[in-house]
Amino acid sequence: MSDRIKSLIIYAAKCATGSLAIFSIASLINFTDLSWCLISVILVLSPDAKDSVALAVTRIKANIVGAGVGVLCMLIYQPNMWMISLALVITLSLCYLFKLDAGIRSALAASIIIMLHQEGRHLWDAALERIVSVLAGCLLALIITFLFHFRMTSKVNSAASNKNQQEA
């Protein structure tokens, strides 16, 4: 099997694992607004095995920056097209400043997720719920990435060790 196909299978397994975990945990705690958590998991997961844990950590840091900027902009003024645009520019700038380039897209998505407001819901209740959802999704994606990376690293190390023993 080619490396590309293996990568596809592993990435699909990560995405499916994240989705199933979110639905399972949400059903246990009677949480119904799964969309932001699902989006966060998918944005943090990486299709490549190479540096996947480091990339997940970078994306989580970027998500925290994006969510923080979203909250700060909401403190300044209610979300509208100008405030959301300002939040995106600030998020982009901070990610660049903190060298979180690999996580910029997820940070921008986090800013928007936090600042979007559903009619009929209190602005801060919705924002806080979304912050928790984004952070939960990020944490779950990190755990999934670590578990998949740990298993793959163990298998690679085991295969290399067996090869070395055979050569000796």
How many C-beta atoms lie closer than 10 Å to residue 143's C-beta?
14
- State the pLDDT at residue 153: 56
Residue 59 near residue 26, CB atoms below 8 Å = no
- Full-model pTM: 0.74
Residue 163: exposure state from Cβ atoms within 10 A (0-12, 13-18, ≥19): exposed
Q: Which of 152, 144, 137 is nearest to 49 (CA)?
A: 152
> From first to last of its 168 residues, what are the pLDDT tens digits of the chain?
788 888 889 889 999 999 999 999 999 998 877 888 898 898 888 877 677 888 888 988 999 999 999 999 988 998 899 999 999 999 999 999 999 999 999 899 989 988 886 656 676 777 788 888 888 898 999 999 888 877 665 555 555 555 555 555
CA distance 123 to 69: 16
Residue pointed to by tokens 């509208």: 80
Task: For residue 152, give every residue at least 6 positions away whose Cβ sits within 8 Å of its Cβ, in sequence order, or none.
Answer: 10, 49
CA distance 28 to 40: 20
How many C-beta atoms lie closer than 10 Å to residue 40's C-beta?
30
Three-state DSSP class for residue 32 = coil
